[in-house]
Amino acid sequence: VAAAAPPQQSRRHHHQLDICESCYRPERFSVRGNGDGRKESVVVVMGATGTGKSKLSIELSTLFAGEVVNADKIQVYRGLDTTTNKMPAAERHGVAHHLLGDLDPAAGELSPSVFREMAARAIAEIAGRGRVPVVAGGSNSFIYAAMAGRYDPGWSPFEAGWRRRMRRREAETLRHRCCFLWVDVDAATLAEQLDRRVDEMLAAGMVEELARYFEEEEAAEAGETRHPGLSKAIGVAEFREYFRGERRGATAAYEAAVAAIKANTRRLAQEQVRKIERLEEMGWPLRRVDATAAVAARLAGSAAEVEAAWERDVAGPGAAAVEQFLDE
Ligand code: ATP
């Protein structure tokens, strides 16, 4: 990542960032502190799976003395590192990560309310050390819970009827002072990239990892779920039949599992985009960066072009936006 652009350029980047002007109404968002007037400035990196959120969050953390707070509801657990596509330690370039692989999957599913409190603690701790919290992850229900000024577990902006019910709520506030970056990729390009990524994950040992997962599950007491927190990870349900069903080990069962993983990963990405668009519709000031050219270059196998497009379209504009945000 090159040095962040000077301030005059950031203004120009504003347009390149493709902010929807009608949505970008920061005056609608009174920033609420934590009771003592403290307002932490937080960078939030959103986007569908496979768009490069994790890479961007690490690059921004490197540039701006940040630390990453994971907001992926499956990656919070220890285990299934390949299947859940956790960023390997070697690729974190020394950037500290919080809530990534820390939780025992036996502890059960994490609710958005609990995540809200865990994230608030991590954010306060990072900001307290004078560093920049960079929240990154694909679980938009977690991001919503962590960033909403007022959080009501009984109300979700992602459900039908949200608009009518939202009108009855007091004006939305944000809990922190936020710079939201949305890494977006054209749907067809992303779908192709996701299929490719599933093949890469299989080559990286996903099936062997799932074999161990199912062995542990089998060794557990009858009726006891060994890893409830991880049981919803894409790959687990899809490979159950291959490992434990009547068609155990059959090539057709393997192929069916892979096809189901690809379909479910594509569906997850579509759902994630739908949720991000909903947050934008609600008025959250999201700044969109377009990683389509970078992903397309990767699919075409041109490494130099990947770097150039990523820098030009994603890392450069993202860094300019964060620089401006931190300077304000
Ligand atoms: P929901 O409340 O519908 O689960 P969400 O916004 O809270 O949505 P998402 O992150 O969109 O959560 O995850 C939805 C589902 O997608 C998960 O339950 C899981 O099946 C799958 N999933 C999400 N992230 C991963 C991951 N890193 N690895 C494997 N599967 C994942």
C-alpha–C-alpha distance, residues 162 and 185, integer Å = 26
pLDDT digits (tens, 9 = 90+) for 308-318: 999 999 999 99
Looking at residue 322, what is its pLDDT? 98
C-alpha–C-alpha distance, residues 113 and 208, integer Å = 34
125 is a domain residue: yes
pTM (two decimals) = 0.88
The token duo for 287 is 């700044």
239 is a domain residue: no
The token duo for 105 is 């999957």
**Beta strand pairing call for 286-290 and 132-136:** unpaired
Looking at residue 167, what is its pLDDT? 60
Report the nearest-CA residue for atom 31 of ligand 1.
Answer: 233
251 is a domain residue: no
Report the nearest-CA residue for atom 13 of ligand 1.
Answer: 139
CB 295 within 8 A of CB 197: no
41: left (phi over 0), alpha (psi -120 to 50) or beta: beta
Closest atom of ligand 1 to 141 CA is 6
Residue 74 phi, psi (nearest 5): -95, -35
What is the Å distance from ligand 1's center to 299 Cα?
25
233 is a domain residue: no
Which of 74, 144, 276 is the pocket-test mutation for ligand 1 (most atoms within 8 Å of CB)? 74
Q: Kindly give the residue spans of alpha helices, DSSP state H, lying in the chain.
A: 7-16, 53-64, 112-128, 140-147, 162-167, 187-203, 206-219, 236-244, 251-281, 292-300, 303-310, 316-327
Looking at residue 24, what is its pLDDT? 36
State the CATH number of the domain containing residue 47. Answer: 3.40.50.300
Name the stretches of the chain with pLDDT < 70: 1-38, 164-172, 221-223, 225
197 is a domain residue: no
49 is a domain residue: yes
Looking at residue 116, what is its pLDDT? 97
Residue 90 phi, psi (nearest 5): -65, -25
Q: Which residue has the tokens 């931190």?
A: 326
Question: Which residues form ligand 1's pocket by a CB distance below 6 Å?
Answer: 72-75, 84-85, 138-141, 232-234, 268, 271-272, 275
Which of 45, 72, 73 is the pocket-test mutation for ligand 1 (most atoms within 8 Å of CB)? 73
Report the nearest-CA residue for atom 7 of ligand 1.
Answer: 141
The token duo for 2 is 């090159």
- For the question of an ipTM over 0.90, the answer is yes
285 is a domain residue: yes
Domain count across the chain:
1
What is the Å distance from ligand 1's center to 72 Cα?
7
What is the Å distance from ligand 1's center to 74 Cα?
7
38: left (phi over 0), alpha (psi -120 to 50) or beta: beta
Q: Which residues constitute the domain of residue 45?
A: 7-190+267-327
What is the Å distance from ligand 1's center to 219 Cα?
26
258 is a domain residue: no
pLDDT digits (tens, 9 = 90+) for 114-129: 999 999 999 999 999 9
**CA angle at 184 for the pair 256 and 235, rounded to the nearest 5°:** 20
C-alpha–C-alpha distance, residues 279 and 99, integer Å = 23
